[in-house]
Amino acid sequence: MRLKRKIKLIGDIHQINVKIITILGAIAVAIVFFFAVIFALAASLQATLTRLVTSGILFVIGIAIIIGIYYATRKPKTIIQRVEISGQMKAISIKCPNCSAPIGENRIKIVSSVPYATCPYCGNTFEVSEEPKW
């Protein structure tokens, strides 16, 4: 019970941090874009290259901040795969081909749609494959 509260609290703190980053980033982008427009207008009134370059740099900084906010606040995607199996299924234990140690289901990772298991004893990583029944 206590662990669930702690995990929920950490999740709430993460959501608050994401909101703060988003708000501060939006304010920074607004300020940078405002000055970019001001420098662009000033460059159009007086044909100076430095103001135009400054305006371009500020615009690029604003775009970089937007991209940074996107990557800092995006949520990881959760992929759920469901398999429908016809007939009877029997679970077999998975053993390491190197040392024959039993492998738990928490040691199996899916990489590019291929299941891989890592042995907790010898560290061997191998592809989990089903042997033919015949």
For residue 61, what pLDDT band results from cuts at 50, 70 and 90? very high
Q: What's the average model confidence in pLDDT over 8-30?
A: 80
Residue ranges covered by each domain of the chain: 2-73, 94-127
* Alpha carbon distance 40, 37 (integer Å): 5
Residue type, 22: T
Residue 21 tokens, joined: 């980053």
Q: Locate tokens 């430095």: which residue?
A: 50
Q: Locate tokens 């994401």: which residue?
A: 18
- Which pLDDT does position 95 carry in this prediction? 86
- Which pLDDT does position 46 carry in this prediction? 79
105 against 86, higher pLDDT: 105
Q: Is the pLDDT of residue 91 over 80?
A: no
- Which pLDDT does position 75 carry in this prediction? 76
39's CB contacts (< 8 A; 6+ apart) are 51, 52, 54, 55, 58
